């Protein structure tokens, strides 16, 4: 079977750092709320992996990420409905790979009987070497 190819695809890459002090895989994911300049609204999910999230479902165009919410893996609605700010604009060009200029820094701590999963997320600008 031929290997999947990114040739002729429009791709958004979201980088992340993930520190996991628990023994389980990531228990949270982020749902990013986006809007195109033409007014179309949508979203995509990123599960921290200490690598790159590949988003190939977006059409070429200009976008704005308004914010994100945290969701337990496998659920559609968050426990606490809080939208975190992530005001970032980007342009997707046809048949090109675009690296988002901000990265996610996530920390997952072990399950605690008083507080459940503790999951902290911050965002940082990418350094020049990370944009490569």
Contact 101, 13 (CB under 8 A): no
Contact 58, 90 (CB under 8 A): no
Class for the domain spanning 11-125:
mainly beta
How does 96-121 read in b/e, with b if 16+ C-beta sit within 10 Å?
Answer: eebbbebbbbbebeeeeeeeebebeb
Domain ranges, ordered by start, for the chain: 11-125
Q: Tell me the pTM.
A: 0.79
What mean pLDDT is predicted for residues 15-38? Answer: 90
Rg of the Cα atoms in the chain? 16
Q: Could you report the per-residue pLDDT of 55-87, keeping only the tens digit for each?
A: 988 889 999 998 998 888 776 676 667 888 888
């Amino acid at each position: 079977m031929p290997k999947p190819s990114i040739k002729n695809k429009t791709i958004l890459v979201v980088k992340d750092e993930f520190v996991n002090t628990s023994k389980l895989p990531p228990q949270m994911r982020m749902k990013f709320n986006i809007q195109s300049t033409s007014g179309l609204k949508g979203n995509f999910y990123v599960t921290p992996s200490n690598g790159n999230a590949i988003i190939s479902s977006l059409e070429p165009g200009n976008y704005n990420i308004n914010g994100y919410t945290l969701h337990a893996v496998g659920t559609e609605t968050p426990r606490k409905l809080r939208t975190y700010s992530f005001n970032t604009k980007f342009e997707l060009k046809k048949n090109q790979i675009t690296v988002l200029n901000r990265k996610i820094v996530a920390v997952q701590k072990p399950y605690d009987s008083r507080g459940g999963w503790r999951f902290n997320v911050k965002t940082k600008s990418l350094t020049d070497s990370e944009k490569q």
